Amino acid sequence: MNLSERRSLLDALNEPILLVDQSREIILANRAAQDLFGRQIEGLDFSRTIRHPSALQHLDRVLAGNTIGPEPNIVFQMSGPIPTTYKISVSQLENHTEPAPLVLISLTDISHILEAEQMRSDFVANVSHELRSPLTALTGFIETLKGAAKDDPKARARFLDIMEREASRMSRLISDLLSLSTLETNERIRPVSRANVPEIIARVIATLSPQAEAIGKTITFTAPDLSEADCTIIGDEDELIQLFHNLVENAIKYGRAKSEINISIKTDKNLTVSVKDQGEGIAPEHILRLTERFYRVDSGRSREKGGTGLGLAIVKHIINRHRGKLIVESVVGEGSNFIVQLPLINNDTP
């Protein structure tokens, strides 16, 4: 294969690839490598592009024909507006026409793998932390009940109440984690059944009204007079109940005392549901991050209200599965409006 055939072959690959001769000179850089290191790198010594001692050492070993043993894991980072991490592989080319074998160096972008690993380990650390605090509280109260408060019925009753709250916090956390994991597994599979959204919202309101009324809040629901077909979407009823349950429950939790929660539906191309509260509102810098797992604007307040920090992450996954969109509008000191857009059955092309 001549140089121009090699070039057209290597240009077709997305990974940056360099071909280096025995004197370490770059004799060919494919298009991706030129995009990364500049158009002028052919003819330069390899050490002018990747200044990485282990990469150079390994290259020298391979050039000397020493390719025995496992390939070392050589990783290097390119700085720039978006820092990118590459894994470098060096391999000798079988070559019968050249006097000395050439070496091919390929760079694989592993940034997304590292990011996923980081997210996974952050997630495990978060879950452990979230479970540890109620567990620590429970262990502490068990000690107290066995010792100091053993013969104090009043203290016992109070501590048992707290223990019940902590235990239910743990069980809510576990059920939210299970929901998230099921949703993540199914996210790419579209629901197949039909769901009537006003009916679902009415059921959510019926479930949550006692909780709202107990703290002096009222829920209003405005739905236009629509035939059943107009408000039908392709959707999973249980997931949609969970979606609106989480939004209305948040409006109750974070709304001002004795305030109103207004839920309304309108239809055009999509079916749009708005869950609006009169509450503390959310500052703009938090809005984009609300659907991250365990992201809370005020951790103390969320925990005091029994929050797990996973409600909106679940909401986001359900909306994604239904090919919908979440818009959050909020004014600090006035309140928030969580708007869910879902494709109506007539406009939906599964």
| Residues at the site binding ligand ADP, with contacts judged by CB under 6 A | 246, 250-251, 254, 277, 279-280, 282, 290, 295-298, 302, 307-313, 336
What is the nearest approach in angstroms of ligand ADP to the Cβ of residue 131? Answer: 15
- CB of 66 or CB of 168, closer to ligand ADP: 168
- CB of 91 or CB of 133, closer to ligand ADP: 133
- CB of 135 or CB of 287, closer to ligand ADP: 287
- CB of 232 or CB of 291, closer to ligand ADP: 291
- Residue 219 CB: number of other CB atoms within 10 A? 23
DSSP code of residue 45: B
Q: At what angle do helices 237-254 and 197-214 cross, to 10 degrees?
A: 30
Q: Are 217 and 255 in contact (CB under 8 A)?
A: yes
Joined together, the tokens standing for residue 219 give 């829920």
What is the nearest approach in angstroms of ligand ADP to the Cβ of residue 80? Answer: 33
What is the nearest approach in angstroms of ligand ADP to the Cβ of residue 330? Answer: 7
What is the nearest approach in angstroms of ligand ADP to the Cβ of residue 128? Answer: 18
What is the nearest approach in angstroms of ligand ADP to the Cβ of residue 288? Answer: 12
- How many alpha carbons fall within 13 Å on the CB side of residue 96? 1
Dihedral (Cα; 115, 119, 121, 122), 10-degree rounding:
130
What is the nearest approach in angstroms of ligand ADP to the Cβ of residue 262? Answer: 12
What is the nearest approach in angstroms of ligand ADP to the Cβ of residue 255? Answer: 7
What is the nearest approach in angstroms of ligand ADP to the Cβ of residue 329? Answer: 11
Q: Which residues, 6+ apart, have CB-to-CB distance to 273 below 8 Å? A: 197, 201, 244, 263, 264, 265, 339, 340, 342
Q: 272 vs 186, 208, 221, 233, 237, CA distance in Å?
A: 23, 21, 13, 11, 17
- CB of 126 or CB of 267, closer to ligand ADP: 126
- CB of 19 or CB of 243, closer to ligand ADP: 243
DSSP code of residue 103: E
- CB of 239 or CB of 277, closer to ligand ADP: 277
Torsion sign across C-alpha atoms 176, 326, 207, 307: positive
Q: Please state, in angstroms and rounded to a whole number, the distance separating the CA atoms of residues 217 and 256.
A: 8
Q: Which amino acid is at 83?
A: P
What is the nearest approach in angstroms of ligand ADP to the Cβ of residue 296? Answer: 3
- CB of 30 or CB of 246, closer to ligand ADP: 246
Q: Please state, in angstroms and rounded to a whole number, the distance separating the CA atoms of residues 73 and 75.
A: 6
Q: 339 vs 276, 315, 325, CA distance in Å?
A: 8, 11, 8
